[in-house]
Amino acid sequence: MSYIIETKNIIKDFDEFRAVNSINLKVPRNTIYGILGPNGAGKSTLISMLCTILTPTSGTAVVNGYDVVKEANNVRQSIGIVFQTRALDDILTGREHLEMHAALYGVPGDVREERIEEVLDLIALGKKAEEETKNYSGGMKRRLEIGRGLIHHPKLLFLDEPTLGLDIQTRESIWSYIEELKNNIDITILLTTHYLEEADSLCDEVAIINQGEIIKSDSPKNLKEELKSDTLTLTSPNVEKLCHLMENQSFVNDIAKDGEDVKIFVAKGGNLIPKVVNLANSNDIEIKSIELSHPSLEEVFVKYTGRKISDTTRK
């Protein structure tokens, strides 16, 4: 497999404080890769080293085949960055922002206007492209910042907390936009986030970072399946009989009863629904309804850190 980012035991110290502790990371090309963790976990520090803004204390990192210390200029030409904090000039129009960044990134003059029109079409600003950005909504500003990071056709786009501070409707709009980027452009996207639903919705793979260390990485689907805690909720007038039947099944990890509902906790519940229904029928137990629910990334985070992401506030 081809990786666009590879780190080996990368460390960043600030005096006596270790912000990033010996991280080993491999990011496949043409994926959306998420770094999931609470504020203060080391996400932005890691991104800053990969973008050559900070120099690692020790260890190595290679981005698009270039060493971040020895070949920093080549790394910078390969990447686009959207920072966590807003970085727009209110008195410039959207088009003027793109013109300025195209010039800064050395986009040749003979293709610059074509690139700008290409990005404007991609981020769908419409007539707002000619207006000062002080008149933009939060979502429009974020799309412009993402478009600005694409102006020089980077191989890798860093999105540091791309939807921080946006309302849920605007966040979902940005998620759709990021998904479209991945599907329509030859690009890898690495995003940091502490929004669990963002990582679950967007990412092909997620690395959980806590206190400067990556403690687990895999696809959101695999991470949740590892918990082996899918829940099948069975509604039946024969609750006691149903509970007794399910207690004796080897595939059932646990059982909870609530009125006419019996919750059974199993691995890969979707595969077990026909088996559960057949068992009930063969034992003359009526099943009114059956509902399947999967564990969340919040539960995954709790398993590996011992805390909810919202409770982890290390600065």
Q: Where are the chain's structural domains?
A: 3-224, 228-294
C-alpha dihedral, 188 to 312 to 87 to 27, nearest 10°: -10
The mean pLDDT values, 10 residues at a time, for the chain of 315 residues are 92 96 95 90 93 96 97 94 85 95 90 91 88 92 90 91 83 85 88 88 93 93 84 92 92 87 88 92 93 86 79 47
d(CA 109, CA 106): 8
pTM of the model: 0.80
Ranges of H-type helices in the chain: 43-50, 72-78, 94-104, 109-123, 138-149, 168-184, 196-202, 220-225, 239-247, 269-282, 297-305
Query: Tokens in use for 54?
Result: 């900070």
Q: What's 283's DSSP letter?
A: T
**Choices 3.30.70.980, 3.30.750.200, 3.40.50.150, 3.40.50.720: CATH for 228-294:** 3.30.70.980
Burial string for 200-229 (b: 16+ CB within 10 Å, else e) reads bbbbbbbbbbbbbebebbeebeebbbebeb
pLDDT value at residue 1: 63
CATH 3.30.1490.190 fits 3-224, yes or no: no
